[in-house]
Amino acid sequence: MNTKNNHQDTILVTGTNGLLGQKLIKRLLEKGTFKIIATGRGDCRLPKSWQGFDYEPMDITDEVSIEKVFAKYRPDIVIHGAAMTNVDQCETEQEACYAQNVSAVKNIISASEKVSAYLLHVSTDFIFDGEAGPYTEEAEANPVNYYGKTKLEAEQLIQASQLKWGIARTVLVYGLSHDMSRSNIVLWVKNSIEEGKSLQLVDDQLRTPTLAEDLAEGCLLMAEQKATGIFNISGEELLTPYEMAMQTADYFKLDKTKINKADSSTFQQQAKRPLKTGFIIKKAKEQLNYQPKSFMNGIAILAKQLNLAD
């Protein structure tokens, strides 16, 4: 916190009804060092018990909506986490995907430039083709699906802007959101096996799965330091979805015979997936002191939250 003139930075977060957005607001409230503006599509879906932030409905695809909120609060820091992230949906609904992942970023950049805000943009491992993972920040992007293409174009817009900017790239985020509107690999495996279903999980794709709390912490570390440039903010362990499922079954003591290895070529999906991504996070560890949890520790955190939610 800047104590010189006792100015409390105003931080504006987009997509706060989503998983990352919820974790960011929770962490910012715990920190207590920022004036917090939460924005999202429609009404606020954050827990009613949370106090200490302002919520503004804001449509990121509507320039006027953004300008109004930015003019009202004049944020010092913007964390842009809102995006269309369903990879198959992005492939089939390209117009909507472009509006949310590219045009929206143009709007956010323009509004941020007007108030001279530091802009932190959340990006993805899907900007890579998966031929040579895990990747460093300097690796060459070559997306294999439409979602990845839009996220790469957004990165390029930010890099070409007049702003002080940071990009946090992440991989396969999992966690528990307040309203549970979307599942994740851990919950899906747990619930499916408990329901007696057999699962097919690929063992030829590699990722560094990221606990949502860790991603929020990484973004916060960047925001506090107004860190510029690209940072890989993900988990550290390179795992296949099959290995993630086996670790989940181990943790919850579930029947592992229900989990079967599959080959990604056998899956009929709208969008092509990069095979081997994952990130090398040396830069974030050294420059930001970012320390992610292991996947097993992540599962334990989720299990604890599930018990509290019951």
16-39 confidence digits (pLDDT tens): 999 999 999 999 999 999 999 999
DSSP 8-state code for residue 199: E
d(CA 149, CA 207): 19
Q: Say what the pLDDT of residue 310 is.
A: 62
In which residue are the tokens 């007049």 written? 162
pLDDT in tens, 144-167: 999 999 999 999 999 999 999 999
Does residue 295 contact residue 244 with C-beta atoms inside 8 Å? yes
Q: Say what the pLDDT of residue 106 is.
A: 98
Domains defined for the chain, CATH in brackets: 10-177+209-237+277-293 (3.40.50.720)
* Per-residue CA distances from 288 to 34, 99, 124, 231 (Å): 19, 32, 19, 9
d(CA 251, CA 259): 14
Which H helix or E strand runs over 35? strand 35-40
Does residue 240 contact residue 203 with C-beta atoms inside 8 Å? yes
Q: Say what the pLDDT of residue 60 is.
A: 97
Rg (CA), the chain: 19
Which H helix or E strand runs over 156? helix 146-159
Q: Mean pLDDT in runs of 10 for the chain (310 residues)?
A: 66 96 97 97 95 97 97 98 96 98 98 98 98 97 98 98 98 89 87 96 96 98 98 98 97 97 90 96 98 98 86
